[in-house]
Structure 1
Amino acid sequence: MEYQERPTAETSRWPLPDSGQRTVIPPAVLASVRDHPLCSGCMPHGVGFYPQASGHRMARQHPADDLLIYCVSGAGQVAYGGLSQPVEAGELLLLPAGLAHRYYANPQRPWSIYWVHLGGPEVQGYFDEIAGQHQPGIRKVRVGVHSRLAEDFQALMAAATSAQPEHLIYAANLLRSLLAYAALMRRQHQVRHATLDVARVNSYLQTAMDQRLSLDTLIAATSDLSRYHFIREYKRQTGQTPMQAFLRIKVSHACYLLDITDQSVAAIALQLGYDDPYYFSRLFKKVMRVSPQQYRQERGKN
């Protein structure tokens, strides 16, 4: 499939400081290499860097090309389809052609961003690889702040300033390398930050049976994950939430005590961190389908 010539990349008119850069490749120049096999699949239309972009904002109603934004410091906001979400340092925005959106720098912490407008039939494949899944619409992906990725953008900016065909061929393949590296950084970031040691969590739960343990305390003691990702990863690996697992551990120990001792339900409840034996009995029945007293009777204890 040939690369299709498109209009000049639609960029903001944010006033560039000396350390900023904005390069837009004219359509006629793009057309000079549109049939080249090394350019037809994925081609930069424009590339730039906006440092500490106070006051920067942009709205694209009918974007003709795809856009990748890399926030390296500060923060911003992206809005589309009635939704709005923040963009922080270390995050990529994947903005497909044809989907109306707007974005702007945070007034208190204006972002510094690298960006590239791009087009071609391979772009969505790269976007899917960066995001880790095929999904229509605008996507935000955390990859972390990496000097190598910033250097790739700088090399792309340098190559894109020349109108010579060989420089554009080089720029197109720098872009491919940049996109592939971004996908690699996403995978490595997920491995570093989304791995949960379930055995460590369960061991901690075993030692905390006498406590009314909060989820936040459990997370702080066993992981660096966010609350959302901790619950999701634990459930993915075990099929239950951390608090469900904690309750089952407590109930299992209660069953053991009911089997081998004559302690009252109230005394057992207190050992497991419950001052209210009736509340404990309701939790026990939720797991075992019978009350502690019924469990003991069925097990032959009077």
Structure 2
Amino acid sequence: MQGLLKRLDNLMPSPLTTAPPPAFPWPRIHLTMNGTRIRRHGFAGQHLVVVPDPVRRQARDHPLLQGLHVTDAGYFPRATSHRVERPLGAATDLIIACLQGEGWVRTPERSEPVHPGDVVWLAADHAHAYGAAETDPWTIVWVHSAGDELPHWRRELGWGAGDALGTLHVTANRVPELGLDQAYHVLEHGYSVPHMLAAAAALRTAFCTLLELRQDGGAPRSAAERITRVRDQLLRTSARNYRLDELAAAAGLSVPHFSLLFRKQTGFAPIDFLIRQRIRAACQLLDTTPISVAAIAEQVGFQDPYYFSRCFRRVMGRSPLAYRKAVKA
């Protein structure tokens, strides 16, 4: 196998001119037909969505998606040994936003380190490589996209339409304001036209926010403001599944510090606050619809109806059925 991979490597185009960090051993690299090398294993807590090819083809022909559509998106937390080399480039544009840790990106013309707060744009059809630093691997959110609008967005953000690599820097704790995570969260629920439109809208919003942050210099927000933004996000999207470390990263804080400040501001631990918002939404559905308890549990974010009932009883002091039957003023 090693000999076969070596022969395949010899058939690849010449490597990029800027010397990369040391290469991984072959067992940790997957070699694709177009010469792209990627790390084979995933990362604990990652999100990864790849839109199927038939859906991509339909998006290219759809009048509301041909301007911009998301093809892949994800979140890689502390992505140890993450590395991608594309000697022939990618068929889509790639945005990478660094939340924590360090990494690097390079093209034949440029090589740049990546730090928290850096936003990187790699244009389609240009050779490039990128990866996480060895000592402090990055945590990134990323989106691949295609469409006729992209050269215009690149120009608006200050990069030439033909530039292979563009970089911007904002204060690290404001990167979550871009909302790039919305792209993969939406597509984790399906690839229908409404899902694809919502993902494209999230990406356009991210571009607009990046323009605003660039104009005001990405001035840092206080920890209290960041906690408020996370709280508001939980209020808007309480049915989504969240991890505590993901919420802390969105606020640019450590988990213990985030949990302490969140409790001070809301009176509840973050996950308890989220559960209470789900119960509040469930109460509204119990009061206004004939939907079954199991269906309501799933709709507000509980996968297990028994766990939902336990949480409901703990918060409301009675079961969902007893709550529905009770006479209310």
Bucket of the pairwise TM-score, normalised by the shorter protein:
0.5 to 0.7
TM-score, length of structure 2 as denominator length: 0.51
Contact 2:37 2:85 in 1 (8 A): no
Contact 2:94 2:124 in 1 (8 A): yes
Shift of 1:94: 0.8
Q: Distance in 2 between matches of 1:17 and 1:23?
A: 14
Q: Distance in 2 between matches of 1:156 and 1:146?
A: 19
Which residue is equivalent to 1:30?
56
Q: Secondary structure at the match of 1:32?
A: helix
Which residue is equivalent to 1:178?
206
**Is 1:51–2:77 an aligned residue pair?**
yes
Q: Distance in 1 between matches of 2:216 and 2:37?
A: 31
Q: Secondary structure at the match of 1:171?
A: helix
Structure 1 pair 79/125, CA: closer, same or farther in 2 (3 Å)? same
Q: Secondary structure at the match of 1:179?
A: helix
Contact 2:177 2:209 in 1 (8 A): no
**Is 1:108–2:135 an aligned residue pair?**
yes
Kindly report which structure 2 residues correspond to 1:66-105, keeping only aligned pairs within 5 A, or say none: 66-81=93-108, 83-105=110-132
Amino acid at match of 1:176: R
Structure 1 pair 132/101, CA: closer, same or farther in 2 (3 Å)? closer
Shift of 1:145: 2.1
Which residue is equivalent to 2:257?
none
Q: Secondary structure at the match of 1:67?
A: strand
Q: Distance in 1 between matches of 2:93 and 2:149?
A: 11
Q: Distance in 1 between matches of 2:147 and 2:80?
A: 32
* Percent of aligned pairs with the same amino acid: 27
Cα shift readout 1:202-242 (whole Å, capped 9, x = no counterpart) = xxxxxxxxxxxxxxxxxxxxxxxxxxxxxxxxxxxxxxxxx
Structure 1 pair 131/89, CA: closer, same or farther in 2 (3 Å)? farther
Shift of 1:159: 1.1
Shift of 1:155: 1.6
Q: Secondary structure at the match of 2:136?
A: coil
Q: Secondary structure at the match of 1:47?
A: strand
Q: Distance in 2 between matches of 1:64 and 1:32?
A: 16
**In angstroms, what is the RMSD of aligned CA positions?**
2.4
**Contiguous gaps of at least 5 residues in structure 2:** 1-35, 221-329
Q: Secondary structure at the match of 2:98?
A: strand
Q: Secondary structure at the match of 1:52?
A: coil
Amino acid at match of 1:185: L
Shift of 1:105: 0.7
**Is 1:153–2:165 an aligned residue pair?**
no
Shift of 1:135: 6.1
What is the aligned residue count? 183
Which residue is equivalent to 2:151?
124
Amino acid at match of 1:66: D
Aligned partner of 1:20 among 43, 46, 70: 46
Contact 2:178 2:205 in 1 (8 A): no
Q: Distance in 2 between matches of 1:107 and 1:116?
A: 23
| Structure 1 stretch displaced more, 55-64 or 138-147 | 138-147
Contact 1:23 1:46 in 2 (8 A): yes
If you compute each CA radius of gyration, which structure gives the higher value, 1 or 2? Answer: 1
Contact 1:45 1:119 in 2 (8 A): yes
Structure 1 pair 155/73, CA: closer, same or farther in 2 (3 Å)? same
Q: Distance in 2 between matches of 1:45 and 1:22?
A: 11
Contact 2:75 2:140 in 1 (8 A): yes
Q: Secondary structure at the match of 1:48?
A: strand
Structure 1 pair 31/21, CA: closer, same or farther in 2 (3 Å)? same
Contact 1:128 1:135 in 2 (8 A): no
**Is 1:64–2:91 an aligned residue pair?**
yes
Q: Distance in 1 between matches of 2:147 and 2:117?
A: 26
Kindly report which structure 2 residues correspond to 1:1-302, keeping only aligned pairs within 5 A, or say none: 12-62=38-88, 63-81=90-108, 83-131=110-158, 136-147=163-174, 149=176, 152-161=179-188, 162-189=190-217
Q: Distance in 1 between matches of 2:37 and 2:64?
A: 25
Contact 2:43 2:78 in 1 (8 A): no
Q: Distance in 2 between matches of 1:56 and 1:49?
A: 12
Cα shift readout 1:104-126 (whole Å, capped 9, x = no counterpart) = 11111111111111111111211
Which residue is equivalent to 2:251?
none
Amino acid at match of 1:167: H
Contact 2:178 2:206 in 1 (8 A): no
Shift of 1:59: 0.5
